[in-house]
Structure 1
């Protein structure tokens, strides 16, 4: 027994020595790539990359180090931060099978949201996406439009009641969170979660809204969990988290359970309606046009091997509940905050919407999606303020990453391509790509919707940015592009078309700070972590 203990200790020491030598002393292919000096030998640059106040550090990487730099991860591991267009194209399109989701991302998504597009790889991911693609196409979005208008009109009524009660300081984030939940509830799951009648708390919305502030500070822990899952079953990994004496961990698991139980209850209800026939399906709130109803109905007429398992269905529903609600609510809140800052832009949008509606109840789908200023506003907001500012990949084999333009190495020589060893973490700078002055010009950080009303500069089109939407990396690109970006775009445009025509949004006498951790969210000042966005809201006209 003593011999075994001695061997274990010796083996551990040897591993540590080998790791320290390879990390800090041995030559590495990335040693010639510039980057900031890490602040910690243990955590590297992770606290600066993922802290909710991390904006300045990301700007340092973008403007001081350029389209490619090296940052340090856990125990000094070298990571590449990149927003070079050609490199991004190789990562998300050409060589996407080599640049896979990182173990940290996969483990996190699987633990909290189950088996879904967010946690699958390879053939499983392609199979899930093939099944889901038809319910996210444009034709199906047309069927979603009346549902979205119905929810948005309820939102209008709820805000009107709050203003009529004498309280015109409105927590816009709360309303947008509840609205996004109801939009994904009716349009995605065919169920209603909120009447939107009063400025009250919705338990499920509050849970989901609290998820990002809760898990944000756990970024170091989440980088350790993947190592645990290599030696123990995933179920034990969850049990391990439950035993940790940290309130944030317990709260995050509580939120995950609430989302899963909601998805399970909805799935059972849908299955019961489907078994009762078309009339029962049509009598539901979405009349069977929601994403899950369409998906379940399609599953009845395909071969067994082409169906999704219940585990996968619940995973997709849980992921949809979180991702669709959190990103859309944040994007809408950001636009309304920006319109409160820019009253001239808000008024210009209002006049376009009034003219387009022309006295009708709602603007039809084809006209709404074609409104030039509304579209320009959405594009510019999603360019400057993507919900996620980075996404990571890990190389599954050695590969050479080409660059659009050469960079200068530490030794002064110009570098046209960078060799990446297997298991290198590559951080795609989505925000960096969207505000790259070499592509978007010197005014890249200015909020200018008008830039989209004429031809974009040749530097934008010539860059061949691989994003699936508007030459932007906001919704990513390639085989893992956001499958619901058209769904999200329609939600945003319908909600804005109702709100801006009837309400005026103005800034409060409080500092609003947008937190950088995970999915961006607003808070009052930099100290309070709680997500909220108070704006002054008044009626434009009596309605």
Structure 2
């Protein structure tokens, strides 16, 4: 039976690849008139360089040569559109979302790994889920959760204090930011504690799993398998049969992903069942739950009970939100925080100015700052905005044209024959590579110092080149959190997290460079490692960001 199945799959795969191969030569390239880099390989095109872990320099070279919208050779003679023109982004993310949707690979992978959560559904399912989830990410809820945030960050501060007091001068700030981000989303999101944040406490298995997920998933062979095979086999047989096939294959990389997903799924089920039991127990005091019963999951479950039949979410969709939100909120914010602290270590004048602002604000308050005071500190806000502008944690997004469309541009495109055009026809099936990173750094928008980290730019009104560009981002003329109906629903949560952590740590500690060369890798999310970092069991450089740390009053 197994041999027959393998033969059928082989014939199917061979036929499919043959058709894809011939199709590239039979059909005319609709973007042949556009400029773009030559293809170094028929099989991979420019994809290896485009998605290289350390390939942001290649992107800089491309946009300097070809502008805001151009063609890029893809796999097997296909063509992608590379886009960061603000007007084109507006049409993709806001005006014509019925044409430009999440890439099929992204949707299917997210659904397979996380279930039918917010990032894995489209159309009515997405609108229904977003409507239910919007209230739990409101400013009102953020105000209520601020004391929980401070309680967690104080534990972080005390543990680092213990490290420094014991003579440790270098700490891995990424490890601490990852642990803290997970505990913040655990307590405020799900009434669940992952980590005591004690110095020597063991790492929760979920933390390691979510941190290594993207590296494991985006190996070249697994990426190709996801794109070309998963769409045709994901519904083949029962989940039990699929798991047996995965386990039988002599493929360590696939087994690593399986084990990572197992840990995430087991933890999500544990959190979900615990929340349901607490809500259904008439004698349960919700205020005694971790997070005081104000966590996202508790509120969501209560809202869901009272929702109309058409808005109510089934259990499988609520369960899927757990790993979805932890994945979306943990790695992005922890890396953004680590990057910001690294930048502060390299700019002592900015670190000193930030410390002065925070200390003066706290001097007029007893205890911790309230939500409104914290979020309105101008220089703290400028530091966070500038870090998120220059270094968006997720630098790129893929979209797919699910119908024919037209993309207008704010700046004319010069074609291969020297003509100027103001729009590009995009046929159904085209993949679009949206560079949030380049839009945030465009010199014609942000000025000649666009590639420099300069928080002071936010202390004065932004230049007209920024406001007139009409960048369609949901946050501060930036594309960091996207825009439109699929913008990041938790961006206020992320901002509060960054500001709480920085306000507490910068008061107590002085950060300076460790002396080690830090390398930022693109694993779908920008993650730091060092030049001399040891390799993990999966063969990747171990993630980490060492900084030198001392007490502020120690000089």
TM-score range, shorter chain: over 0.9
Q: TM-score, normalised by structure 1?
A: 0.94
Residue 341 of structure 1 and its aligned partner are, at CA, apart by 1.1
Cα pair distance change 1:161/1:366, threshold 3 Å: same
After the TM superposition, which residues 385-396 of structure 1 pair with which residues of structure 2 at under 5 Å, given as runs?
385-396=391-402
Residue 146 of structure 1 and its aligned partner are, at CA, apart by 0.4
Q: Is the 8 A contact 1:175 1:199 kept in 2?
A: no
Local SS of the residue matching 1:52: coil
In structure 1, the partner of 2:3 is none
Residue 158 of structure 1 and its aligned partner are, at CA, apart by 0.7
Residue 219 of structure 1 and its aligned partner are, at CA, apart by 2.6
Residue by residue over 1:8-45, the C-alpha shift from the partner in whole angstroms, topping out at 9 and shown as x without a partner, is 99999987676445424643221111111122211212
After the TM superposition, which residues 264-275 of structure 1 pair with which residues of structure 2 at under 5 Å, given as runs?
264-275=269-280
After the TM superposition, which residues 112-191 of structure 1 pair with which residues of structure 2 at under 5 Å, given as runs?
112-191=113-192
State whether structure 2 residue 317 is matched by structure 1 residue 312.
yes
In structure 2, the partner of 1:210 is 212
Local SS of the residue matching 2:528: strand
CA distance in structure 1 between the partners assigned to 2:268 and 2:110 by the alignment? 16
Cα pair distance change 1:241/1:427, threshold 3 Å: farther
Cα pair distance change 1:356/1:462, threshold 3 Å: same
Residue 302 of structure 1 and its aligned partner are, at CA, apart by 2.0
Cα pair distance change 1:296/1:9, threshold 3 Å: closer
CA distance in structure 2 between the partners assigned to 1:242 and 1:101 by the alignment? 30
State whether structure 2 residue 198 is matched by structure 1 residue 197.
yes
Task: Name which of 311, 327, 339 aligns with 2:332.
Answer: 327
Q: Is the 8 A contact 2:337 2:498 kept in 1?
A: yes
Task: Name which of 354, 359, 382 aligns with 1:354.
Answer: 359
Residue 452 of structure 1 and its aligned partner are, at CA, apart by 0.7
Alignment size in residue pairs: 536
Residue 165 of structure 1 and its aligned partner are, at CA, apart by 1.7
Residue 177 of structure 1 and its aligned partner are, at CA, apart by 0.5
State whether structure 2 residue 427 is matched by structure 1 residue 415.
no
Gaps of 5+ in 1: 1-7
State whether structure 2 residue 472 is matched by structure 1 residue 466.
yes
Cα pair distance change 1:301/1:331, threshold 3 Å: same
In structure 2, the partner of 1:221 is 225
Q: Is the 8 A contact 1:158 1:199 kept in 2?
A: no
Cα pair distance change 1:214/1:9, threshold 3 Å: closer
CA distance in structure 2 between the partners assigned to 1:487 and 1:248 by the alignment? 33
Cα pair distance change 1:408/1:337, threshold 3 Å: same
CA distance in structure 2 between the partners assigned to 1:240 and 1:409 by the alignment? 49
The root-mean-square deviation of aligned C-alpha atoms, in Å, is: 2.2
CA distance in structure 1 between the partners assigned to 2:507 and 2:249 by the alignment? 50
CA distance in structure 1 between the partners assigned to 2:12 and 2:384 by the alignment? 56
Cα pair distance change 1:213/1:17, threshold 3 Å: closer
Which deviates more, 105-114 or 208-217?
A: 208-217
In structure 2, the partner of 1:534 is 546
Residue 239 of structure 1 and its aligned partner are, at CA, apart by 5.4
CA distance in structure 2 between the partners assigned to 1:102 and 1:184 by the alignment? 27
CA distance in structure 2 between the partners assigned to 1:229 and 1:457 by the alignment? 51
Local SS of the residue matching 2:547: strand
Gaps of 5+ in 2: 1-8, 536-540
CA distance in structure 1 between the partners assigned to 2:36 and 2:479 by the alignment? 23
Local SS of the residue matching 2:339: helix
Local SS of the residue matching 2:199: coil
Local SS of the residue matching 1:70: strand
Task: Name which of 424, 428, 431 aligns with 2:437.
Answer: 431
